[in-house]
Amino acid sequence: MRNGGSKNKGNRAEIKWYRDLKALNIPVVRSLGSGSSYDEKADLYTPNYIIECKHYKKLTPGQITSFWTKVCQESNIMKKFPVLLYKENFRNPRVLMFSPKPLIEGVPDSHYKITIDYEDFLHFMDHSEIKKRVE
């Protein structure tokens, strides 16, 4: 692989996912210096979500756990919900996030971690409160 190939692949995936959200009229901001800026560490930000994007040849469960921990830590600081959007070569993208509804009705902190297909995530974002507030 040529120098920077892996970084370019990750950037292409991040740009595609950014454009997909923009196409749904979701107010999303791309952090151009993700990983290098003190204030902006994740890749994408919406009013309610902080989204870390990863595209690797192959991901281990340990890597996914590490990426999830990182985005959760930043989400606590930013007071937003964490989302890990990841893709392996030759596989469809997947999304790790907390459930949109609490596990126990009336208990706000009882959300549980779910993994969904990228298309389901786009459908969720297209019908979420984020879009309704902007329109």
- Give residue-wise pLDDT tens across range 73-110: 999 998 999 999 999 999 999 999 987 666 666 666 65
Q: Where are the alpha helices (DSSP H) in the chain?
A: 5-23, 61-78, 118-126, 129-134
Structural domain including 83 reads 5-134
Mean pLDDT lowest among 2-11, 23-32, 56-65, 72-81: 2-11
Question: Treating both helix axes as pointing N-terminal to C-terminal, what angle do 5-23 and 118-126 enclose, rounded to 10 degrees?
Answer: 40
Query: Could you give the CA distance from residue 23 to residue 32 in angstroms, rounded to a whole number?
Result: 19
Q: What is the pLDDT of residue 63?
A: 96
pLDDT category of residue 67 using cuts at 50, 70 and 90: very high
Residues 109-113 have a mean pLDDT of 70
Q: How many domains does the chain have?
A: 1
Structure tokens at 8: 């370019």
Q: What is the pLDDT of residue 9?
A: 63
Residues 50-56 have a mean pLDDT of 94
Q: What is the pLDDT of residue 42?
A: 85
Residue percentage of the chain with pLDDT more than 70: 73
Q: What is the CATH number of the domain that holds 128?
A: 3.40.1350
pLDDT category of residue 126 using cuts at 50, 70 and 90: confident
Q: What is the DSSP string of 85-119?
A: EEEETTS--EEEEE-SS-SSTT-TT---EEEEEHH
